[in-house]
């Protein structure tokens, strides 16, 4: 993302009359799409629907600051405001934190995308629903691992870049309290779940150097008050391994595997998923295709796991009008087996009808996209 920087020289008298200086960066993205979202193959008792709409695709306005503390040390902050030009809504709901770092790495506290957002897909014709590694690949029977959004109450350590290798260790003190939760207060109704018992851990190892990108992400989360009998109250475990390579002629290919498990009081529900992204860039253009597959569920909590898998693909064409502006067209389709309830990513945020409660329903989206970064 290109950034327009407003440097603010902030002079202040501190001990000894030293001069303090910090910079504030204003950057962002406006991303919209005109799309047709359609349900089909619904079971008896339901009617399929088609919706035509204009929707926001995670537009953002980001304020970030950094102060040089000397000796290679710095302090900073990030305020990531997500706003919807289609409805005029907005809030500081993106990746936001206060941080402190140096040559040894960075420590940050705030709210952060963890685990589910480790994607190797890339689209110039972008919508949230295109990203299969955040949708089918990051779900177990339609239920998203790691909230499918930013995790609250996070403290994390980000390592420095060491010849292409980077790492992250992140801890959240509140899991299942909701994406904007402040956690517990210390007092609750007798017998209610204890917010202090919720915990999430994420470990990421990445390598990016030249044409190679690779990574591993570990996710472990325990539910407040102990695991429950439903997917929404289950403990979670997820492991993702991915690799990508870009050839000199502009072709990029990748592969990623994920195994995730929900741990309920009645047993476990787990599945393995795969995603294969391929893209070809020529001049200002890009053609991209991604295929994803979720295998059938297994584990004692699901009984017979046959017909609980799904397949999905995205095909897109994008064109850059400049370094900051691009547009394109994309088609995404997800086919559920008769007992499966997988869905595209980011549908609920756009007001679309979810397939999650309708086993076997298929979903598709045709979209025209415009994106501008600043």
Question: Encoding tokens for residue 205?
Answer: 């190892």
| Mean pLDDT taken over the chain | 85
Q: 255: Cβ–Cβ under 8 A, 6 or more apart, which residues? A: 242, 243, 244, 274, 275, 276
Q: Mean per-residue pLDDT for 156-171?
A: 97
Query: Is the pLDDT confidence value at 91 over 80?
Result: no
CATH architecture of structural domain 32-373: Beta Barrel (2.40)
Query: Is the pLDDT confidence value at 4 over 60?
Result: no
pLDDT band at 187 (very low <50, low <70, confident <90, very high): confident
Query: Is the pLDDT confidence value at 19 over 90?
Result: no
Question: In terms of residues, how long is the chain?
Answer: 374
Q: C-alpha distances in angstroms, 299 versus 229, 261, 263, 313, 334?
A: 14, 9, 10, 27, 24
* pTM for this entry: 0.87
* Domain layout of the chain by residue ranges: 32-373
Higher pLDDT among residues 150 and 337, named by residue: 337
Among residues 32, 39, 22, 1, the alpha carbon closest in space to that of 74 is found at 22
At 110-162, the pLDDT tens digits run: 999 999 866 788 899 999 999 999 888 999 877 888 877 788 889 999 999 99
């Amino acid at each position: 993302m290109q950034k327009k920087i407003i440097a603010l020289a902030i002079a202040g008298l501190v001990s000894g009359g030293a001069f303090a200086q910090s910079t504030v960066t204003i950057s962002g993205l406006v991303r919209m799409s005109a799309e047709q979202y359609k349900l089909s193959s619904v079971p008896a008792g339901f009617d399929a629907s088609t919706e035509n709409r204009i929707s926001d695709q995670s537009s953002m306005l980001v304020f970030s600051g950094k102060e040089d503390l000397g000796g290679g040390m710095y302090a900073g902050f990030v305020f990531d405001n997500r706003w919807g030009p289609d409805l005029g809504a907005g809030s500081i709901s993106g990746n936001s934190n206060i941080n402190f770092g140096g040559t040894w790495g960075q420590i940050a506290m705030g709210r952060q995308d963890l685990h589910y957002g480790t994607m190797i897909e890339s689209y110039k014709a972008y919508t949230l629903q295109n990203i299969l590694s955040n949708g089918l690949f990051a779900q177990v029977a339609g239920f998203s691992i790691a909230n499918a959004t930013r995790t609250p109450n996070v403290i994390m350590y980000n390592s420095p870049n060491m010849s292409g290798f980077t790492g992250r260790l992140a801890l959240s003190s509140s899991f299942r309290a909701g994406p904007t939760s402040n956690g517990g207060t210390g007092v609750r109704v007798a017998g209610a779940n204890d917010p202090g018992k919720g915990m999430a851990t994420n470990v990421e190892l990445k390598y990016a150097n030249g044409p190679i990108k690779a990574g591993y992400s570990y996710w472990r989360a325990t539910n407040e008050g102990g695991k429950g009998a439903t997917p929404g109250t289950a403990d979670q475990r997820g492991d993702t391994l991915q690799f990508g390579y870009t050839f000199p002629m502009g072709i990029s290919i990748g592969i990623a595997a994920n195994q995730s498990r929900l741990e309920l009081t009645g047993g476990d529900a787990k599945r393995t998923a795969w995603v294969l992204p391929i893209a070809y860039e020529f001049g200002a253009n890009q053609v991209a295709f991604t295929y994803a597959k979720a295998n059938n569920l297994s584990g004692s909590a699901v009984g017979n796991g046959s017909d609980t898998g799904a397949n999905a693909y995205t095909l897109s064409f994008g064109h850059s009008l400049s370094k900051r502006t691009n547009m394109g067209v994309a088609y995404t389709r997800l086919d559920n087996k008769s007992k499966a309830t997988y869905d595209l990513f980011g549908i609920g945020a756009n007001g679309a009808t979810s397939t999650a409660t309708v086993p076997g329903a298929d979903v598709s989206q045709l979209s025209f996209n415009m994106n501008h970064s600043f």
